[in-house]
Each structure stands twice: as C-alpha cells, then as structure tokens.
Amino acid sequence: MEGCDFLKKFFSILWRVLLAFLIYTLVGMLIPFIGSKSVSEEFKNDLATKNFYSESLSGERVKIVEDNDDAFKVRVQMIESANERIIVSTYKYRRDWSGLNFVSALYEASKRGVSVEFIVDGYTSATLTHDLKELKVLNTLPNFEVKVYNKINLLTPWKHNGRQHDKYVIIDNQSYVVGGRNITNSSLSNEYGDNKYDRDVFVYNSDLSNASSVDELVAYHENKWNSKAASLISKRSSYRDKEKVLTNLSERYDEFKAEYPSYFENTDFEAITTRVNKVSILTNPTHIYKKEPHIFYALSELMNNATSSIKVHSPYFIMDKQMYEVFNQIGERTLTSDLEATLFTNSAGNSANPFGSLELRINKDKLLNTNFTLYELESGYSYHSKSLTIDDELAIIGSFNFDMRSTYIAAEVMVVVHSEVVAAELNEYMEDYEQNNSVKYTNTGEHVPEGVIKQTLSFWDHLLHLLILIFVWWWGRSLF
C-alpha cells in the first residue's frame, strides 16, 4: 500500500510539473508576439518608392530561376566560380541527395582556399541533428564556419518563434541567389523531390566599381551573422570519423560531377542574365523578437503606387487586420480605375501547410472582399513561390510569405528588380499558373476551367483542421 501511495503521489507531482511547464512554454511563446507592430517614423521617412526605380541601366544582371533542377545547377555553378568567399543561409537543410551534393561542392571550394560561411535556422539543428553531421565536421576546418540562428532552448520559450526564414547564396560579393528554396530535395531536385513549385532570382553584378544590391545583401548577412542570435557550432578539434566523412564528401563530389557535368562547366553569367535598371534588397530586422514589418510596409507602399496592375503570389495568406486594410484600400481602387489586382495561392486541398489550408477555409471571404481577383491552384503539387509584379515594371521575388510570421517574426529577404523585360518574364510565369490548373474566384462567383479538378481534403485533413481549430487557432494563429 505504501508503494502504491508513493507512486500515486509521484505521478500526481509529475503531472502537475508537466502541466505547469506546458503552460509556461505556451505563455512564453505567445505573449511576446501578441498584436501587430507598426514601422517607425524613421523607417517611413527613409523609404522612398522612387528609389526602387532608375531611368538608366545598371551593371546588375538578373535571371529568374523557375525549375528546381535549374535552381540546383545555378547554385553549383556559383560555388564552382567562387574564388574568395561563399555565404549560405537557409531555413531548412536536409542530409538528402541535394543537401549532401551541395555540401560536397562547398567542401571542394574550401579545399581550394575559399572561405565558407553557412548559417542554418535553429529548428533544423534542434529537431534533425543527424542532418548536420557533415557540417559539424566541416566546421572543424580553418576556413569553414557553421552557425545556427536562434538555437532552441526549452527553458526560454519566449525565444522559440524568432526564426531565420531567408534563403540565399552569395559568391565573392559579386553574385547571389535569393528565393523560396531550402537546401532539400523538395526544393532542388525534380527527380528526388516532391515536385513542389518554387522560384528564385539570380543576380550578377558585372560592374564592381559601383555599389550594388550584392553589397546590401552582404551587409544584411553580416549583421545577422555577427548578432547574438547566431551562434557558432562548437569547433571540436576532431571527430572520430572525421577523415571518413571528408573522404566520403570528396567521393560524392566526384560522382556528382561525373553524373552532372553541365553543372560544373565554366559559366558565362553575363550570357545567361538580363541587364536591368536597378536591383534593391528588402529585409526584416534580424533580431529574434517581434519585428517592425519592414518588408510588408515597403511592399504595401510599392503596391499603393501601382497604376495598372498588381500580381501577388504566396503559398498562403494568413493576415491580421492591419494587413487586410492594405489590400482593402488597394482593392477599392480597382472599382474606380483601370487597376487590375490579382492574388494567387494554393487551394485548401492543394496546400502543404495545414494552417494555411485552414485559414483559406475560414477567411476566404475576406480575401474576396478585398476586390482582388483570387486564383487557387488545384494541380496536386504545392506552390511555394513568393513573388509580385507591379505595373509591368517591378519584379519582386524572395522568401516572404503573406502571413503574420513573415511580417512580424521571421528574418526574411525580398529582391526588387526594376526591369520591364524581367517583369514581363515573371508575369508570364505567374500567368501560366493562373491560367492552368487553377480556379478563378471573384465576388460574383467562380470559374473552373475545363479539365481542372478541385483537390479535396481527406478525412485526416479534416481531423487535423478540427484539432488545430480547437487547440491552437484561438491563441496561435499569429504564429503560423
């Protein structure tokens, strides 16, 4: 009997401790991020939309990267061209075919004396430590550094939500690629991935004598890299299987090069790019707490100045009152002017994000009430691109989703390109998605093109949505 009483008392105390810790964690995660935040007057005064335009051509050149295989090819070509410095930032890194081949190319670059800086978000390091095996070994090399952005610490839940969602590779302070693609098969391989649709923009500066957007992106990176949020993986002097890991990477590189020789050919970056008027960088603050919505504010100002057309593509729209007000104001102008405004996203059944899917089911009327024309993709493959075009002059591509996490919480990057040629190309890509495998919605009804089949939610999708609605939606929507 005494043993039973002891166990009852033990489990009673344990249950209370676990419940208290759960409440502590949930409250700690939520409280710092409640409510909207506005940009400062200083930021407003410093932002002038005219600065995103130029009447003359610059030395910067641009290529839109639409295909997943091409995205990997461009990254490898960039790494192969590096002479001094490689910078990599990613939200997700996976130790799969794409990830290991990517890292093997970085290792080969480091062997020829190139310095490598690699920063990955803390969720990867916390939940998938196995994926960092090679990176931990490479971090022991003198010219290869690996950092983690905002490591997860269960005792400080108020820091959990501050994430690095940007994705970029920078080479020799001369070129970079920015977009929605992580270093995973799903982002960089048609053969080994899951056919997720995404988009990057590659930028090459052909005139090193003048300042460029590369300098802006490098400054953003160095601010984040040197911040308290970025911590270096421990530089252990050795690992038990260090030599084996390095040998395997070298062998993998040789096999990869033999199988995909075109990835490793000398590349004339000027020949594959288009000269543009101007390229600008939009970023959010790099600290881990609630942020001023720098990117959203800048995008809203650019959209407010549109006179003929706006296209906004996002995997999902999870917005608060402040964000909806921007779209409502713009949408009202479509009723009294020639402005055409379009939103594009995954349908509820096509979305890979259960929160985004549920949001569309609940608040679809809010999107339609903005008076934007809404297209929902029904292809069966999730759309992950974050892109805008404005007035057939600006093409905007990056990592920013139109949700509250990207707006107020995450470190993000968007690239603004002033070029009628590039904007026309991006419009063509975007319209291809809108006109094929998509359903069109307006306030007057819907149009389902012939051959388009709406994706349906499974029983398990409905169950997951119900659980989210009951246990998470009321307190965590702003964190999605």
pLDDT in tens, 309-339: 999 999 999 999 999 999 999 999 999 999 9
The CA distance from 480 to 406, in Å, is 9
| Pairwise CA distance, residues 416 & 216, whole Å | 12
User: By the 8 A CB rule, do 86 and 115 touch?
Assistant: yes
Q: What is the pLDDT of residue 127?
A: 57
Give pLDDT, residue 424: 98
Cα distances (Å, whole numbers) of residue 139 to 95, 113, 240, 252:
16, 15, 14, 18
3-state helix, strand, coil in the chain (%, to 5): 45, 20, 35
Answer for the pair 170, 217: CB distance below 8 angstroms, yes or no: yes
Q: How many CB atoms lie within 10 A of CB 126?
A: 15
Cα Rg for the chain, rounded, in angstroms?
Answer: 23
How far is the C-alpha of 383 from the C-alpha of 181, rounded, in Å?
11
Cβ count within 10 A of residue 275? 16
For residue 309, what are the CA distances in angstroms to 207, 249, 281, 334?
32, 48, 22, 9
pLDDT at 214: 97
Tokens 């969602």 belong to 165
- Identify the bridge partners of residue 13 per DSSP, sorted by sequence position: none
Q: Tell me how crowded residue 358 is: count the other CB atoms within 10 A of its CB.
A: 26
Please list the rounded mean pLDDT of every run of 10 residues in the chain (480 residues).
69 84 83 85 95 96 97 97 97 94 98 97 70 89 94 88 95 97 94 87 92 96 96 72 92 97 94 97 95 97 97 97 96 94 97 95 96 96 96 97 95 98 98 95 91 94 93 76
CA-CA distance, 223 to 7, in Å (whole number)?
A: 53
Give the CB-side neighbour count of residue 236, counting CA atoms within 13 A: 10
pLDDT for position 10? 78
Beta bridge partners of 85: 115
Using CA atoms, how far apart are residues 182 and 119, in angstroms rounded to an integer? 12
Determine the pLDDT at residue 51: 96
- Cβ(423)–Cβ(395) below 8 Å: yes
Cα 251 versus chain centre, distance = 31
The helix or strand, by DSSP H or E, that contains position 366, with its residue range, turns out to be helix 354-368
Residue entry with tokens 């190139």:
114
Contact of 319 with 296, CB cutoff 8 Å: no
pLDDT tens per residue, range 89-139? 999 999 999 999 999 999 999 999 999 999 999 986 665 567 788 999 999
Is residue 88 helix, strand or coil?
strand
Locate 264 and state its tokens.
């490793």
At 128 the pLDDT is 58
**Is residue 388 a contact partner of residue 168, using CB atoms and an 8 Å limit?**
no
Q: What angle do CA 61, 214, 414 make, to 5 degrees?
A: 85
For residue 361, the Cα-to-chain-centroid distance in whole angstroms is 23
**H-helix segments, 305-353:** 321-334
pLDDT digits (tens, 9 = 90+) for 211-245: 899 999 999 999 999 999 999 887 665 677 889 99
Q: Which residue has the tokens 């759960």?
A: 22
With contact defined as beta carbons under 8 Å apart, do 370 and 333 qualify?
no
Which pTM value belongs to this model?
0.94
pLDDT for 476 equals 74
